[in-house]
Amino acid sequence: METSPISTITLSRKLKFHQLMIFELVLESGSFVRAANAMSLTQPAITKAIYDLELFFGSPLFERSNRGVTPTEFGVMLGRRVKSLIAETRYMTEEVNAFRTGEAGHVIVGTLISASAKLLPRAIVALRKATPGVLITVREGTTAQMFPALATGDLDIVVGRLPEQELPLSHAFPLKHEVLFHESFCAVVGCDHPLADSKGLSIADLMTEEWIFPLQESPSYNAVEKFFRDSKLGLPPHHVNSLSILTNIGLLLETDMIALMPRAAALQFVKAGLIVVLDLTKSANFGEVGFSIRADKDVNPACKNFIKCLRETAKSIFE
């Protein structure tokens, strides 16, 4: 039997927006129950909304199991479009509210380790003082996770280390980047590390130590590799890869491992008495730290205020 195409007019008449919101919540949570709780609806109401969508499209959206639901191939395709539609609706709501009150809105920030310890907290404090009615959500992850989410509208802005221009990731999405400052790496250890008080250490002195490096898919991993390569050395044979700042701090406190950390972030933990910066004869370039936004769409008013706070905070840090 030949499938008839669906027109835009049919979509607008038959589909209800709350059905799409329910679908997106089920897609994100992988559970009818969690989606029902999030929307303060009953599970039968969620089930009916999904059933009506499947009936309209003539295709199942999810595969059910005892462990929850997973999207079908059709569900994944539809989900990409629904996410963008809901993001655009969120933008419209925020712009209307911001126009009416001047202080409403929601900023969803993606962050990387280079910004999460000092730059971002200070910028958030500044934004909260300037516009206390703005809701701020922070999500942490790798650049490979953050940039696609930014491109689809799931994030408003990504703050952290910017990828090098020659890397494919830098041009994979319609984004624009602004540099706030240049950052360097420093080697850090726990306060009780045997080398904590040593002076004039070289990288060669530390090759047999155990290290903590960024994840290999992280752009900062390239900076780590370059640092050791420029020192005419390979990577230390004993190392773990971790992007979790809490895990890294825990490892430094519990072991004699060494970590390479952006200097601004490291100094926060030094000030708290948790770690010590090793005295190395050679410094390492971490790269450019800044923010990324969509190039094909203006940011909402709340995010514009946040960008202003980022610029002012970055300037104050390095004055």
What pLDDT score does 185 carry?
84
- Asked whether residue 311 is assigned to any structural domain, the reply reads yes
- Asked whether residue 11 is assigned to any structural domain, the reply reads yes
CA–CA separation, 164 and 180 (whole Å)? 15
**Cβ–Cβ contacts within 10 Å for residue 62, how many?**
20
Query: How many domains does the chain contain in total?
Result: 3
Handedness of CA 47, 51, 53, 54 (dihedral sign): positive
> What backbone phi and psi angles, to 5 degrees, belong to 82?
-65, -40
- Asked whether residue 232 is assigned to any structural domain, the reply reads yes
CATH of the domain at 40: 1.10.10.10
CA–CA separation, 207 and 250 (whole Å)? 22
CA–CA separation, 314 and 290 (whole Å)? 9
Helical packing angle, 143-152 and 73-101, nearest 10°: 70
Cα separations (Å) of 233 from 131, 148, 165, 188, 221? 50, 34, 25, 19, 15
Whether residues 151 and 294 share a domain: the answer is yes
What pLDDT score does 168 carry?
60
What pLDDT score does 291 carry?
95
Whether residues 130 and 262 share a domain: the answer is no
Whether residues 309 and 232 share a domain: the answer is no
Q: For residues 131 and 303, is the Cβ–Cβ distance under 8 A?
A: no
Q: What is the mean pLDDT of each run of 10 residues along the chain (319 residues)?
A: 77 90 94 93 95 93 90 95 91 77 80 76 94 90 86 92 67 85 90 94 92 84 84 88 89 95 87 93 83 90 93 86
- Asked whether residue 205 is assigned to any structural domain, the reply reads yes
Whether residues 75 and 129 share a domain: the answer is no
- Asked whether residue 209 is assigned to any structural domain, the reply reads yes
CATH of the domain at 110: 3.40.190.10
Q: Which domain holds residue 277?
A: 183-284
CA–CA separation, 153 and 54 (whole Å)? 25
SS3 per-residue string spanning the chain: CCCCCCCHHHHHHHCCHHHHHHHHHHHHHCCHHHHHHHHCCCHHHHHHHHHHHHHHHCCCCEEEECCEEEECHHHHHHHHHHHHHHHHHHHHHHHHHHHHHCCCCEEEEEECHHHHCCHHHHHHHHHHHHCCCCEEEEEECCHHHHHHHHHHCCCCEEEEECCCCCCHHHHCCCEEEEEEEEEEEEEEEECCCCCCCCCCECHHHHCCCCEEECCCCCHHHHHHHHHHHHCCCCCCCCEEECCCHHHHHHHHHHCCCEEEEEHHHHHHHHHCCCEEECCECCCEEEEEEEEEEECCCCCCHHHHHHHHHHHHHHHHHCC
The 10s digit of each residue's pLDDT in 93-146 is 877 877 666 577 889 999 976 667 788 999 999 999 998 888 899 998 888 888
Whether residues 164 and 295 share a domain: the answer is yes
- Asked whether residue 201 is assigned to any structural domain, the reply reads yes
The encoded tokens of residue 219 equal 């752009």
CA angle 266, 184, 250 (to 5 degrees): 25
The 10s digit of each residue's pLDDT in 63-76 is 988 888 999 999 99
- Asked whether residue 19 is assigned to any structural domain, the reply reads yes
What pLDDT score does 99 carry?
64
- Say if pTM beats, i.e. exceeds, 0.85: no
